[in-house]
Chains A and B, each alone.
Chain A
């Protein structure tokens, strides 16, 4: 039987959750409502007048094959960012967890990139991979590889994925490391005595016990890849070459803030919101079942 601690009355609990409700209302419900409202209009570029078009903005978008193609690009990009950032973070966390000496230094250094803003991270990677003056490009050239992400679609995708995943590795690393350290040593030692080697122990004990952390990070990283990566895309590729890295959120930014087409941009945000909500529901419904708390 679970023992619950409960507060008496309604007022105090309400008061305690009020700040969170206010923050959510101001920074989520209000803008989301605005986006839904705006998505029904086509405003003129200066925002002086608006014309009601009903679902016209959605029709315009969904009948555009280039917009539909950007769903596929987004799916590829988000999966890659999530897998790369979580995979590398887990690997590093497992290694850092085994360290006895100097683990503090490693941890600090691994957490650092998280402090770098996405747009700045984009510029850093762009410098290294600049097609003519980049350091990495130059070394690749010595190896006989001609790096050219301004025209090669696969390379462009690879570069924005790495740049987006890089800062994220730190964040994931922190959570994985905390998760690993919360696993009771006695369980692992018992398995070791039974003769299980490191990777067997990892597969059968550590990874399942880590699953709440992994699930949390999966949800958070997918949301990150969908929403927060436009800075990297903007600085590195502007969505190119052709449309190879035009993900949904970049188009929201480009059409709304650069092109001043706020109606279409709002409609795109609404679509994006629906996509991410559905994804999150799916994750909770189907993946969470396999999580052991």
Chain B
């Protein structure tokens, strides 16, 4: 597909948003390989990064090759690629389902939503994908009636109607089955084909230790390190293996620092 687009003279066969999240974190979960030891950090703070395994190295090496050949066009660390896709410049785009609303609103062409591709021949693929990571936190140390208010707010936010509306308007995943069911019953998925792809691929299988999510300290900085190292691959300065090894090594230093701070 990318070959055909390139041969046809296409300037941007493929681009992506959130490269670390899609092409390393989800890649690992989807192929049921660890992103980090200790069940991706859930089992302990003494976790170490493990995304320099053969599956990840092979994938990043392939992407790097595509980047050199002009088949994969890197647009930036955040979701910059979205502008290129919505403008009709890029043919394929890997993005969070949360990008759906923007594409739907701006794209002046027909598009389809497909599940994330996976490599054949990897045992267990496709497993399931994982969420991006934004979450709400409630801190201790407030008055009881304040927590009453917090509870009411969280109840409101997670109620089926609000979640269903949120899910349908934005493309974000519904956080409860009731909201997903309400969306299905309302006929939303039939009217908007593709909007249930993200739900399906995330709930396709019972999650394993490799695919139930990530819990890593300083992860925002680690993503920054991953961005830097991946850029070295896309520009051809480093091989996939060198870059991922270096990202693991640099990230582990931050994990150790976090571990010592959290004792």
Contact = CB atoms under 8 A, between A and B. Distances in A.
Interface of A: 42-46, 48, 51, 60, 64, 66, 130-133, 150-152, 238-243, 254-255, 258-261, 263-264
B237 A44 contact: no
B122 to A, nearest CB: 29
**Contact size class for B?**
35 or more
B74 A151 contact: yes
A255 B223 CA distance: 12
Question: Which 4 A/B pairs are nearest by Cβ-Cβ distance?
Answer: A42-B261, A259-B221, A241-B231, A151-B235
Interface string B68-106: 000001111110100110010100000000000000000
B4 interface: no
A151 B70 CA distance: 13
28 contacts: A42-B260, A45-B258, A46-B137, A51-B260, A51-B261, A60-B257, A64-B253, A66-B250, A130-B83, A131-B75, A132-B75, A133-B84, A150-B74, A150-B80, A151-B231, A151-B235, A152-B235, A238-B224, A239-B228, A241-B231, A241-B235, A242-B232, A242-B235, A254-B221, A255-B221, A259-B218, A261-B221, A261-B257
Interface in B207-254: 217-218, 220-221, 224, 227-229, 231-232, 234-235, 237, 250, 253
Interface string B137-181: 101000000000000000000000000000000000000000000
A264 B77 CA distance: 23
Contacts of B237: 242
Interface of B: 12, 73-78, 80, 83-84, 87, 89, 137, 139, 217-218, 220-221, 224, 227-229, 231-232, 234-235, 237, 250, 253, 257-258, 260-263
Contacts of B224: 238-239, 254, 259
B235 A261 contact: no
Contacts of B74: 150-151
A46 B139 contact: yes
Contacts of A64: 253
Contacts of A243: 228
B89 A133 contact: yes
Contact of A132 (B87, B137, B232, B257): B87
B231 A240 contact: yes
Contacts of A130: 80, 83
Contacts of A43: 261
Contacts, number: 76
A122 B77 CA distance: 16
B75 A150 contact: yes
A240 B89 contact: no
Contacts of B76: 150
A234 to B, nearest CB: 11
B77 A259 contact: no
B77 A132 contact: no
A172 B148 CA distance: 56
B195 to A, nearest CB: 27
A64 B78 CA distance: 25
Contacts of B253: 64
Nearest to A47: B139
Contacts of A46: 137, 139
Contacts of B87: 132-133
Contacts of A151: 74, 231, 234-235
A89 B232 CA distance: 36
A192 B84 CA distance: 58
Contacts of A261: 218, 221, 257
Contacts of A66: 250
Contacts of A150: 74-76, 80, 231
B121 to A, nearest CB: 31
B89 A132 contact: yes
A216 B74 CA distance: 42
Contacts of B231: 150-151, 240-242
Given A44-B262, A150-B75, A151-B234, 13 more contacts: A42-B257, A46-B137, A51-B260, A64-B253, A130-B83, A132-B12, A132-B84, A133-B83, A150-B231, A151-B231, A241-B228, A242-B229, A242-B235
Given A44-B262, A133-B83, A242-B231, A258 B75 contact: no
A238 B221 contact: no
B220 A259 contact: yes
Contacts of B220: 258-260
A132 B87 CA distance: 9
Contacts of B78: 238
Contacts of A242: 228-229, 231-232, 235, 237
B98 to A, nearest CB: 19
